[in-house]
Amino acid sequence: MFQTAYYGHHKCCSQYITKIIKDICDTLKYTWEIEDHAVELPKRLYPDYLPLEKSCLICWNSDYLLVRSLECPGFHVIRDPRDMIVSGYFSHLYNHSERWPKMKVYRNYLKTLDKEKGILAEMEFSSVYLYHIFSWDYHNPNILEKRFEDLIANPVEEFKQIFSHLQITPNLLSQEDLHAIVEKHAFNRLSGGRKEGEEDVYSHYRRGLPGDWKNHFSSHHIEQFKKLFNPILIKTGYETDENW
């Protein structure tokens, strides 16, 4: 049985959060296991796979149907789906690892499109990740719900709440040690010294600010997004109706 779990989604700060979790696991002598529901069958579904105690599940591209039976304390991070599209577009065009088998083909396709058509293509490409967010159960008492926007605005306080829910602080890890680990992975360090809002399209940590979709969505993008994904915005509370 996993002792703790993190549930993330594509372009929702997963790399950043994973770095912090790995450092905490190393400090506590925990093991960690990464599963990616977008590219592989979870190992837990195999009969000979028995997770260890004192271990953390790091789940990328989380599909609730595949994790709903877990009873360990966990946390789940989402992001404004419109920002997910913009972040995905720039990442897939310039810097996402091509170890992902379909990435090279998709990147070559994006290079043939201007930004207007490229963002529309990204809506189609990333739809599976947005529907994972839509199908999530946001009322599971074992899972603490968090937003990318809050993590970026106040990371130390947010991670204190997260690791308190996971029963790691303050009994197993001091708040001072947690603070040091979070600060080690601050945006300006991961981005090579840039401040949040300073853009580098070739960096995985491109800009670091919420609401960037407003700088890139055209009226046609807004119309198309409403047609395809407006229920996701409303369910997650990023909008209250379709008149945004």
Dist CA 232 CA 60 (whole Å): 19
Dist CA 162 CA 5 (whole Å): 11
Q: How far is CA 229 from CA 82, 83, 102, 242, in A?
A: 9, 13, 24, 10
pLDDT of residue 193: 44
Can you list the residues of the chain whose pLDDT is less than 50?
A: 46-47, 50, 191-194, 197-200, 202-206
For 60-103, what is each residue's pLDDT tens digit?
999 999 899 888 999 999 999 999 999 999 999 998 888 777 88
pLDDT of residue 110: 97
pLDDT of residue 47: 46
CATH class for the region spanning 4-80+137-190 = alpha beta
pLDDT of residue 46: 46
pLDDT of residue 206: 46
6 beta partners? 58, 75
**Order of all β-strands in the sheet with 55-60:** 31-36, 55-60, 4-7, 74-78, 143-147
Strands 31-36 and 55-60: parallel
pTM for this predicted structure: 0.88
Q: Which amino acid is at 12?
A: C
Dist CA 99 CA 22 (whole Å): 21
**Which residues contact residue 220 at a Cβ distance below 8 angstroms, ignoring those fewer than 6 apart?**
116, 120
Q: Are 84 and 10 in contact (CB under 8 A)?
A: yes
> What are the start and end residues of each CATH 3.40.50.300 domain in the chain?
4-80+137-190
Q: Where are the alpha helices (DSSP H) in the chain?
A: 14-28, 64-67, 81-90, 103-110, 115-125, 127-134, 148-153, 155-165, 175-184, 187-190, 219-236
pLDDT of residue 100: 76
- Which of 225, 40, 232, 210 lies closest to 133, judged by CA? 232
